[in-house]
Amino acid sequence: MAQMGTDHFSFLRLLLAYLIFSFTAFFFPASFGQAATAKLQSQEVNALKEIAKKLGKKDWDFGKDPCTGEGNWRVFVDGMKSFESSVTCDCSFNNNSSCHVVSIALKAQNLTGTLPPEFSKLHYLKVLDVSRNLLTGSIPSQWATMQLVELGLMGNRLSGPFPKVLTNITTLRNLSIEGNLFSGPIPLEIGKLVKLEKLILSSNLFTGELPQALAKLTNLLDMRITDNNFSGKIPDFIGNWTQISKLLIQGCPFEGPIPSSISALTGLIDLRITDLKGRGSSFPPLSEMASLKTLVLRNCLIYGEIPHYIGDMKRLKNLDLSYNELTGAVPVSFDKLTKVDFIYLTANKLTGTIPGWVLKRIKTVDFSYNNFTWESSSSLPTECDRGSVNLVESYSSSADNISRVATCLKRNYPCSASGEKHHSLHINCGGREINIGGVKYQADTEQKGASFYYSSQNQNWAFSSTGNFMDNDVDADIYIKSNTSALSNVPVIDSELYTTARASAISLTYYGLCLLNGNYTIKLHFAEIVFTNDKSFNSLGERMFDVYIQDKRVLKDFNIEKESGGTGKRIIKTFTSMVSSHTLKIHFYWAGKGTTGIPDRGFYGPLISAISVNPNFEVPSDDGKKKKAITSIGISTAALLLLLLVAGIMWRKGYIGGKIAADKELREMDLQTGFFTLKQIKAATKNFDAANKLGEGGFGSVYKGLLADGTVIAVKQLSSKSKQGNREFINEIGMISALQHPNLVKLYGCCVEGNQMLLIYEYMENNCVSRALFARDPTCRLKLDWPTRKNICLGIARGLAYLHEESRIRIVHRDIKTSNVLLDKNFNAKISDFGLAKLNEDGNTHISTRIAGTIGYMAPEYAMRGYLTAKADVYSFGVVALEIVSGKSNTNYRPKEEFVYLLDWAYVLQERGSLLELVDPALGSEYSSEETMVMLNVALLCTNASPTLRPKMSQVVSMLEGKTEVQDLLSDPGFSAVNSKYKAIRNHFWLHPSRTQTMSINGPCTGTSGSYNESEESGHL
């Protein structure tokens, strides 16, 4: 009891001392422990004089003792929370008779010059903060002797490698060098700073992998490395930071997945990881993080379902899981997230119905760009305008044909049936309606933007905005920015376009609605009007974002100020793009790059001043139609009858009937593509000059062309010798015009005029896979390394998965082969030639059809019995994958007489356990044996003789991406059948094909393959 009483008395004494100290520090902040005669020692006064001189600090009054707080030694400015000018002393030394400087804050004062070495002469200095200034150079070597506890250098222009001198200040607990120009790797010596509790390295130019030495910093509470150029993976050793409460890893090109060791960070309150690349993963283990208030895992390649426990996080205020590949339904537990201010599940693959609680929320929820199901029995939304709930493009194709569901809720935001077609668009983003040179720019003054959909009054454009600005401590974010400095290179007549701009924190998408199909010129108007062009720290901000047009990235890490040559200067970026479904989509996305704390927290993200869209084609004119009608009336009756007579004779002879029928059928179809004139195509191909000829197939010839707007095209010309060409021509247009996917060749339009029937495609710089691998002329072959081959296979798989399972219409291609896989300039695979494709209506288990395809690629059940399912394409993909890995043609390679095809040899090598013998010798040892085995095993799984044992293409994609383990082929009973009945039947069929087999050159490729077609002719691109 005596001991307890002593302890209690000691505690009270300590408490009393603390209260006295706090009282003194509060009412006499410039110094504490100060006696009436206590003054700052002369050596430190002299050091302050040198510091003031080198920093240009002219308002310190050295006629006053710095420790008194008088003479501008301690200054705060109302309304400027980032500004601070203070020198704080401790005057408790030598029985309160002498003082020493212990803290200096010189924040947001636009100080210039370099960091003075004289700070090191203040031997008792513990806290130094010179954030938000214009300081240059690096850290003086003299600072190595300092005993700092806190050091703030945020928001300057300090440069050079990571200053190793800082690693000698082992007393540091808080270190921020955010927003500077430091570069290179983080040194191993950083491991010496074991007392660090806060380390902020964001917004620099650091590179390399995070060093293992960081694992030693086990006292970390706050770690931020956002907006750097680090490489490699997020290391497992982050699990050592078990005391951490704030972890920010945004805008760094780290490779996924998020390490499972993150589960050890159970004290996290704020976790933000964004924009990873490489391999995806399932949801990271966060179930023990009960204290989380902010959880941002955006664009982290996360797949699978959202864990139920997320809905049980009672302290959560901000949840962002957008731009992942999350599937399944929204967890039922989410209805308990009533205190969460922001929920972003944007741009995933979520299914099921939209939960009822979403429609009742008054707080921000964004479920746009998902795959939810429409059910007529439920009270699901039919309109987009729902306040702070954004549901744009949230429904799957299940809602495509439901008229009472607004088009903005449907995929790709189609034009309504009654929508009036437009051919131009001009928006003054963030500003009022203005007229410039006779062009009216429509007003865009809606103030909201965290989770918001807006449609213009005439409904010819709309926008969808996602994201709130983090860490800015304001009640309402500002999404319309006004210029803070004068515009410098903008004509007066155009200036109002650039005095305002629309901003977004994460994502902003503008839609041009009900546009006529065709090629357009798009001009995006930018000016950096938030950061200043003066000599203040406000000029140090850096804004970076990405821009997409029609889902294709056209600008990466776009920096307005850098591109335009300064702040307040305009820059107009011009693009051409095809509108093929009456909707134009312009998307701006913040990928975590750029500063987030200049001039204050919450300044970042996309900024757009104006948008203009104009057609590159002749717009139909009502006046022109009237003139034509008047002219037609003037034609004499006799001449008209004569023309009709001649036309009738030509029709009976078959000269014009087919083309007129084809043109009529195309015009009657609601095609989502453009129409070109023969004059345009002749000009583009120089009248079909032989020098522009790319190749020739069963369909006809293919030419390279250049449109007037600079777009390079491939023109596919129907051959007059093709008896069935009309049907395949119309079929190909009808199929591919409704499809939009990065791994399908894009159809720009068609031309049916005179005796010409033409298809106009995007041009593929690297021709096709067949030519790249098997060209007869070795000089035409391309050297494809392993990553390129893997990417090609993955691209084909994704394209087929889209055709079979994801597109609005389900399609079986029927002719997947290497000559029908084209390669763009980056060797991305694009599936082409839809002339033989078949539509598989929902509910049909298979299609019984006439056989058409190519020998060596057709599945046995289809080749022998006409039994067609999507699994026929899966079989063909397996063959193509084998060819890509081996560099050998399935039909032309016979290692031994008893083996008919490459596929047979693959089975033998698989049984021997030596599949890697198939690998193309041209690869040498420069390939991943693990990835190659996955690819080969998947290929063999796809070519299973039994269609029911073949995987779906979505499963193939999952296996190739490493998300699903490849099944063990040796234990698959289906494969044993290959060596007996199925193999014998298949070989008999391939050795004795029908007499109707034809040989054709496939598209722009020079290699040939046998094309088998029962009662119809194949057409090949």
Instruction: Please give the positions annotated as active site.
Output: 815
Residue 562, marked binder? no
* CA-wise closest residue to 396 among 810, 952, 745, 796: 810
Strands (E), 605-731: 607-608, 610-615, 674-675, 693-696, 700-706, 712-718
- The token duo for 473 is 């401590």
For residues 932 and 960, give the distance between their C-alpha atoms in angstroms, rounded to a whole number: 10
Task: Look up residue 681 and give its two tokens.
Answer: 């195509």
Helix (H) or strand (E) holding 685: helix 678-685
343-354 per-residue burial string, b: 16 or more CB within 10 A, e: under 16: bbbbbbebbebb
Q: How far apart are CA 852 and CA 861, in angstroms?
A: 13
DSSP class of 909? H
Pairing of strands 31-32, 545-549: unpaired
Q: How many other C-beta atoms lie within 10 A of the C-beta of residue 1008?
A: 17
Instruction: Return d(Cα 105, Cα 511) in angstroms, integer.
Output: 48
Q: Are 289 and 312 in contact (CB under 8 A)?
A: no
Maximum CA pair distance of the chain?
130
Neighbours of 630 (CB within 10 A): 9
545 exposure class (CB count in 10 Å sphere: 0-12, 13-18, 19+): buried
The DSSP output letter for 671 is -
Q: Distance from CA of residue 92 to its chain's centroid? A: 58
CA-based end-to-end distance of the chain: 96
Of 770, 795, 796, residue with least CA distance to 781: 770
Q: Please report, as a single letter, which amino acid is at residue 75.
A: V
Contact call for residues 430 and 412 (beta carbons, < 8 A): no
Query: Packing angle between helix 981-991 and helix 902-912, nearest 10 degrees?
Result: 150
Cβ neighbours for 81, distance < 8 A, ≥ 6 positions apart? 600
Phi, psi of 119 (to 5 degrees): -60, -30
What's the CA gap between 836 and 873, in Å, rounded?
12
Q: Which amino acid is at 927?
A: Y
Chain-centre distance for alpha carbon 254: 15
Pairing assessment for the beta strands 342-344 and 318-320 based on DSSP bridges: parallel
What the block records as the tokens of 475 is 């009640």
Residues belonging to the binding site for ATP are 716
